[in-house]
């Protein structure tokens, strides 16, 4: 009687092997948790097997599940796979001999790529010869039409035919928490994604000008959040009303300094929420020199007095690089929808590109900064998004 392998997806992780054994186990558990949450949210029936350097997800819907798995940080590559528990090389070879025509057509060249654990007694050369002998096609190790990947391990054998590249990086939440400032534009969701890829759990914070303008930016951020749930299992978003601060700044501050003071206020407000959420850093979508507020001089002025680290993952990216990445993660089409930006709405087109910190601080004294921060925090609303189910809290 022919043995029946388990069908599913084999997952390999890359950077985790750079970690110590203890840290690797912690990160692997986090990856397993993220995989389980994502697959449950997708409505899949599955069983997860966790090994030292592999994860196998048993599922009869491997192709559909792959669409979810490809977006989960911490995965180097994955493949639809057949898993044979506790077999020997003869049993595995017999299966391949009877079934290889399902994967190798007549006239196609092939190559066998073997990965063997040291616990397997037979040599790699012997196993490959045994597997290849019954296949009545030509071997081509350089440019084969079909590759047969085999992993021989003490707990079982894997058979697969195509590796698909994963996002890479580290599992989300394995690297702490960050507070990402999300404008609704192209840059900030990309910056947030890059932090998720490095293992940081993102909490979002969005400044809006409602009721002075429409809720378009709020609606965009919610749509972007739904896309972001492809990479992170759940997401908390703070919506901060900024219209009162904008009116005060417009009335009391010369136009060329407004954008700098807006940004300073935003970071001071964000710092409060970062502390509340136990975030280790604030993340922005700033890119060096992209606009006047993002010159080196002005970035220094904006972050002056902030006691928490500010991460700018896009600082060395040009606009085309950011757009390409936005398209890759599927946020671009939402980000380019029209909205009234909460800063540029009240800012002169001739803002200074080389501000003076002393002058900015003098101008800032015209405002009751502490009261503006207090009011923004008081009127903030938070929304927790978990994909299929959402929770709303005032």
Q: What is the 3-state secondary structure (H, E, C) of 233-249?
A: CCEEEEEEECHHHHHHH
Position 15 scores a pLDDT of: 75
Calculate mean pLDDT across residues 124-140.
Answer: 95
Residue 347 pLDDT more than 70?
Answer: no
Establish if 345 belongs to a structural domain.
yes
Establish if 156 belongs to a structural domain.
yes
Position 350 scores a pLDDT of: 63
Residue 35 pLDDT more than 90?
Answer: yes
Residue 223 pLDDT more than 90?
Answer: yes
Establish if 1 belongs to a structural domain.
no
Do 248 and 334 belong to one domain?
Answer: yes
Q: Which residues pair with 381 in a beta bridge?
A: 239
Domain end, chosen from 142, 168, 194, is at 168
* Contact between residue 150 and residue 114 where contact means Cβ atoms under 8 Å apart: yes
Residue 390 pLDDT more than 60?
Answer: no
Domain ranges, residue 72:
6-168
Position 392 scores a pLDDT of: 31
pLDDT digits (tens, 9 = 90+) for 291-324: 888 899 899 999 999 999 999 999 999 999 999 9
Do 154 and 182 belong to one domain?
Answer: no
Calculate mean pLDDT across residues 359-382.
Answer: 94
Establish if 239 belongs to a structural domain.
yes
What is the CATH number for 294?
A: 3.40.50.620
Strands 110-116 and 47-50: unpaired
Do 200 and 349 belong to one domain?
Answer: yes
Do 213 and 90 belong to one domain?
Answer: no
Position 352 scores a pLDDT of: 75
Please count the structural domains in the chain: 2
How does residue 2 score in pLDDT terms, banded at 50, 70 and 90? Answer: low
pLDDT digits (tens, 9 = 90+) for 152-170: 998 899 999 999 999 999 9
Distance between CA atoms of residues 212 and 295, nearest Å = 29
The residues, ordered by sequence, that sit 6+ positions from 181 with a Cβ below 8 Å of its Cβ are: 188, 205, 206, 207, 266, 270, 282, 283, 284, 285
pLDDT digits (tens, 9 = 90+) for 165-196: 999 999 999 989 999 999 989 999 999 999 99
Establish if 29 belongs to a structural domain.
yes
Do 277 and 184 belong to one domain?
Answer: yes
* Contact between residue 166 and residue 9 where contact means Cβ atoms under 8 Å apart: no
Residue 98 pLDDT more than 50?
Answer: yes
Domain end, chosen from 168, 201, 220, is at 168
What is the CATH number for 64?
A: 3.30.2130.30
Residue ranges with strand state E in the chain? 6-12, 47-50, 54-58, 75-85, 110-116, 146-153, 156-160, 164-168, 177-181, 201-208, 235-241, 281-283, 310-311, 381-385, 390-393
Do 77 and 24 belong to one domain?
Answer: yes
296-303 and 357-364 helices cross at what angle (nearest 10)?
Answer: 40
Do 193 and 79 belong to one domain?
Answer: no
The structure tokens 């501000």 sit at: 355
Burial class, 262, CB count within 10 angstroms (exposed 0-12 / middle 13-18 / buried 19+): buried
Do 149 and 226 belong to one domain?
Answer: no
Q: How many residues does the chain have?
A: 394
276 vs 19, more confident: 276
C-alpha separations of 16 from 29, 169, 291, 301, 344 in Å:
11, 9, 38, 38, 43
Burial class, 162, CB count within 10 angstroms (exposed 0-12 / middle 13-18 / buried 19+): exposed
Domain end, chosen from 168, 192, 210, is at 168
Residue 48 pLDDT more than 60?
Answer: yes
Angle at CA of residue 111, ends 108 and 114, nearest 5°:
150
Distance between CA atoms of residues 384 and 393, nearest Å = 8
Across 276-290, 314-328, 340-354, least confident range: 340-354
Do 101 and 213 belong to one domain?
Answer: no
Do 286 and 251 belong to one domain?
Answer: yes
Do 120 and 184 belong to one domain?
Answer: no
Q: How far apart are the first and last CA of the chain?
A: 62
This prediction's pTM: 0.89
Do 74 and 183 belong to one domain?
Answer: no
Establish if 278 belongs to a structural domain.
yes
Distance between CA atoms of residues 176 and 198, nearest Å = 10
Calculate mean pLDDT across residues 6-21.
Answer: 84
pLDDT digits (tens, 9 = 90+) for 50-93: 988 899 999 999 899 999 999 999 999 999 999 999 888 999 99
How does residue 17 score in pLDDT terms, banded at 50, 70 and 90? Answer: low
269: helix, coil or strand?
A: helix
211 vs 275, more confident: 275
């Amino acid at each position: 009687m022919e043995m029946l392998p388990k069908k599913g997806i084999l997952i390999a992780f890359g950077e985790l092997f750079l970690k110590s054994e203890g840290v690797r186990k912690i990160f692997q558990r986090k990856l397993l948790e993220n995989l389980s949450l994502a697959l449950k949210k997708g409505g899949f029936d599955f069983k997860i097997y966790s090994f030292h350097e592999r994860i196998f997800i048993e599922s009869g819907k491997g192709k559909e599940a792959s669409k979810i798995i490809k977006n989960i940080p911490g995965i180097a590559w994955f493949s639809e796979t057949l898993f044979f528990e506790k077999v020997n090389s003869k049993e595995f070879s017999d299966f391949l001999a009877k079934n290889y025509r399902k994967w190798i057509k007549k006239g196609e060249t092939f190559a066998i790529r073997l990965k063997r654990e040291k616990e397997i007694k037979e040599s790699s050369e012997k196993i490959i010869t045994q597997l290849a002998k019954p296949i009545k096609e030509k071997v081509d190790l350089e440019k084969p039409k079909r590759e047969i990947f085999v992993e021989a391990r003490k707990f079982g054998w894997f058979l697969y035919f195509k590796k698909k590249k994963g996002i890479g990086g580290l599992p989300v939440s394995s690297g702490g928490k960050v507070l990402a400032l999300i404008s609704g534009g192209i840059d900030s969701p990309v910056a947030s994604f890059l932090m998720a890829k490095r293992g940081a759990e993102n909490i979002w914070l969005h400044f809006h000008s409602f009721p002075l303008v429409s809720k378009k930016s709020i609606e965009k951020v919610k749509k972007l959040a739904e896309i972001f749930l492809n990479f992170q299992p759940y997401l908390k978003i703070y919506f901060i009303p900024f219209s009162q601060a904008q009116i005060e700044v417009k009335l009391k501050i010369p136009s060329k300094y407004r954008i700098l003071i807006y940004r300073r206020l935003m970071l001071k407000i964000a710092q409060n929420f970062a502390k509340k959420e136990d975030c280790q850093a604030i993340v922005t979508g700033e890119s060096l020199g992209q606009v006047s507020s993002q010159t080196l001089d002005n970035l220094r002025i904006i972050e002056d007095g902030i006691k928490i680290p500010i991460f700018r993952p896009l600082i060395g990216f040009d606009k085309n690089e950011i757009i390409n990445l936005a398209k890759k993660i599927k946020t671009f089409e939402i980000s380019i929808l029209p909205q009234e930006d909460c800063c540029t709405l009240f800012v002169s087109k001739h803002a200074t590109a080389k501000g003076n910190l002393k002058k900015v601080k003098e101008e800032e004294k015209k405002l009751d900064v502490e009261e503006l921060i207090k009011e923004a925090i008081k009127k903030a609303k938070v929304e927790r998004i978990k994909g299929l189910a959402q929770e709303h809290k005032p």
